[in-house]
Amino acid sequence: MIRTLVVDDQSLVRAGVRVVLESAPDIEVVGEAVDGFDAVRAVERLRPHVVVSDARMPRVDGIEATRRIVAGSPGTQVLILTRRDDEETIYAALAAGAIGFLVRDGDPRVIADAVRRAARGEPVLGGPVLARVVQRARRAFEAERTGNRPGPEPAGLTPRERDVLALVGAGLSNQEIAARLHLGVTTVKTHIVALLDKLGVRNRVQAGIYAHRLGLVDDAFHPVPPISTGPTR
């Protein structure tokens, strides 16, 4: 069962999300919180796999709560509820360590699937929005570069880890990366865990942005240069 915490300062929103999630046979809502402050305390007590949280709440908002949750409970993923085109909130949430976002007025049927994906560590972020976020991140990173050269690559990346990072940046799933590189899915997961540690990032969304920062992926989300498919590990 996927243990889930619902966070929102509006009781009707919490109730609606809870009803949708509890209709799924593999999801259990283990608690609710009325703001970010209570959410952090609830996560410490309940240790949910996924937190579904509003972005704007009194006392402690969802962005700051995300930052505190991922720092104190690395095994918990956070999904942020936001408005459809709220790019500022989306960018801030990802920077804080959220795995993705859900649109408040979107189709409620997608919530359960989003929770499942988050529990698996998969980003919950639509392609067009991801493209905007990456473009913004690249503009910010450009200020750190000399001329147009990519930023420095972290020491210790193996050639295969570099390939995996590029494909993460291109938006491929673990299964797609495994097929592209002729690896097992478990091996791909192992590489991604190592990458997150070496890059010092929270999740594969942040790793994907890092791949763009390093120039491993172009603006069309294609690896640069094209990835080899040999047996190199």
C-alpha closest to that of 161 among 124, 121, 214 = 214
CB 64 within 8 A of CB 40: no
C-alpha closest to that of 59 among 42, 37, 43 = 37
The reply to whether 12 and 104 lie within a common domain is yes
Q: State whether the Cα torsion 156-180-220-83 is positive or negative.
A: negative
Range of the domain at 22: 2-125
The reply to whether 6 and 88 lie within a common domain is yes
Highest mean pLDDT among 58-62, 82-86, 127-131, 226-230: 58-62
The reply to whether 182 and 232 lie within a common domain is yes
Asked if residue 214 belongs to a domain, the reply is: yes
The reply to whether 99 and 178 lie within a common domain is no
The reply to whether 14 and 90 lie within a common domain is yes
pLDDT at residue 71 tops 80 = yes
Asked if residue 136 belongs to a domain, the reply is: no
Structure pTM? 0.69
How far apart CA 7 and CA 39 sit, in angstroms, is: 7
How far apart CA 161 and CA 147 sit, in angstroms, is: 26
What is the per-residue pLDDT across 157-197, written as a single tens digit (0 to 9) for each?
Answer: 888 999 999 998 887 888 889 999 999 999 998 999 899 88
How far apart CA 188 and CA 164 sit, in angstroms, is: 7
Domain boundary among 90, 125, 160: 125
Q: In the chain, how many domains are there?
A: 2
pLDDT at residue 75 tops 50 = yes
The reply to whether 215 and 185 lie within a common domain is yes
Asked if residue 8 belongs to a domain, the reply is: yes
C-alpha closest to that of 161 among 190, 134, 139, 201 = 190
The reply to whether 7 and 113 lie within a common domain is yes
pLDDT grade for 153, boundaries at 50, 70 and 90: low
Q: What is the CATH number of the domain that holds 203?
A: 1.10.10.10
Domain boundary among 95, 125, 155: 125
Q: What is the CATH number of the domain that holds 81?
A: 3.40.50.2300
How far apart CA 70 and CA 68 sit, in angstroms, is: 6
Query: Which percentage of the chain shows pLDDT scores above 90?
Result: 41
Asked if residue 179 belongs to a domain, the reply is: yes
Please indicate whether residue 55 or residue 131 has the higher confidence score (pLDDT): 55
How far apart CA 47 and CA 29 sit, in angstroms, is: 12
How far apart CA 58 and CA 50 sit, in angstroms, is: 21
The reply to whether 56 and 171 lie within a common domain is no
pLDDT grade for 33, boundaries at 50, 70 and 90: very high
Asked if residue 137 belongs to a domain, the reply is: no
Asked if residue 133 belongs to a domain, the reply is: no
The reply to whether 36 and 93 lie within a common domain is yes
The reply to whether 185 and 93 lie within a common domain is no
Asked if residue 52 belongs to a domain, the reply is: yes
Please indicate whether residue 86 or residue 71 has the higher confidence score (pLDDT): 71
The reply to whether 94 and 202 lie within a common domain is no
Asked if residue 140 belongs to a domain, the reply is: no
Q: How many CB atoms lie within 10 A of CB 221?
A: 17
The reply to whether 66 and 32 lie within a common domain is yes
What is the per-residue pLDDT across 34-51, written as a single tens digit (0 to 9) for each?
Answer: 999 999 999 999 999 999
